[in-house]
Amino acid sequence: MFPIAVITDEISQDLTVAAALVKEFGGSALEIRSVWEKGPHEFDANDITRIKRIADDYGLRICGIASPFYKCNFGDAEEERQHLDILRRCIEVAHALETKLIRVFTFWQQPDAPPWEQIAEKFQEPLRLAEAEDVILGVENDPSTIGANARQVAQFLSLLNHPQVRSVWDPGNELWEGETRAAFPDGYETLKPWIVHIQLKDLRRTPAGKIEAVRFGTGAVDYLGQFRALKADSYKGYLSLETHWRVRREIPEDLLHRPKGSAFSFGGEEATRLCLQSLREMLRQM
């Protein structure tokens, strides 16, 4: 019904392990974040060749590059320059891996967030690159960034009004951010005109009020309702699993904000296997 992908470092830093698990559960694509301890902007030619070979061996596509672009401090000229270099390199990697989608952000949260007009100014060079290189910049609603929820990202995308800047919709992040409106239907309906890619994680609020990641399908997000709406709306993009949950440990907050490497991936294969089982069972109810 929907093509399934997994963000690979939610399983392992070993791409072969990740690809085998995705294939086992009938997935069709890999979303690349960190592999062999490297972020996508750090890949060399040999890394890219290996990634392509492994994907081909398992009959999988690369559906997107989960870059860290603009997870940096607004107004820090040196960090912004470095991140533009990150974007340029991620575009090169995307071309080499035959995908057009690059996930991006809207700067770290800060006490006095700048207006969207100022952030839009910082996107002028990224927009020029996206146009010149024919890629899609997918803005994720991420609780660590200024565009923390669907409502804020929709404001930004409405202001930019550019066909090559779209939404990477993450329903789970709405709860993590503390948005009082429901991820579905409220967040989805807010972002629907821009959604090109969906990342899946599930969360719940503990009796003490803490938000925690849980096995997919056991949390507070109405994913069955979300999937039924996607079917009714003829959604053609991927569902990409990003568990952010581990069976025997809690991922430290700093790694949740900056996912990368073995410290993040540890325990991911077991957790992602369980989440893929739950996802497959839920989709059977459609």
Q: How confident is the model at residue 206 (pLDDT cuts 50, 70, 90)?
A: confident
Over residues 16-39, mean pLDDT? 98
Q: Residue 103 sits in which domain range?
A: 4-238+256-284
The mean per-residue pLDDT over the stretch 72-98 comes to 98
**Whole-model pTM?**
0.97
What's the rounded Cα separation, in Å, for the pair 153 and 139? 7
- 251 is a domain residue: no
- Whether residue 158 is contained in a domain is answered as yes
Is 232 contained in some domain?
Answer: yes
Whichever domain contains 110, its CATH number is 3.20.20.150
Does residue 245 fall inside a structural domain? no
- DSSP string for residues in 57-72: HTT-EEEEEEEEET-S
Alpha-carbon distance of 85 to 78, in angstroms, equals: 11
**For residue 179, pLDDT beyond 90:** no
Q: Specify if 118 maps to a domain.
A: yes
Does residue 131 register a pLDDT over 80?
A: yes
Report the 10 Å Cβ neighbour count for 259.
Answer: 21
Q: Is the pLDDT of residue 177 over 80?
A: no
pLDDT at 157 over 80: yes
26-40: average pLDDT: 98
248 belongs to a structural domain: no
pLDDT at position 114 over 80: yes
Mean pLDDT over all residues of the chain? Answer: 96
Q: Taking residues 174-190, what's their average pLDDT?
A: 86
> Is 249 within the bounds of a domain?
no
247 part of a folded domain: no
Please check the confidence at residue 180 and state whether its pLDDT lies above 70.
no
What total of structural domains would you count in the chain? 1
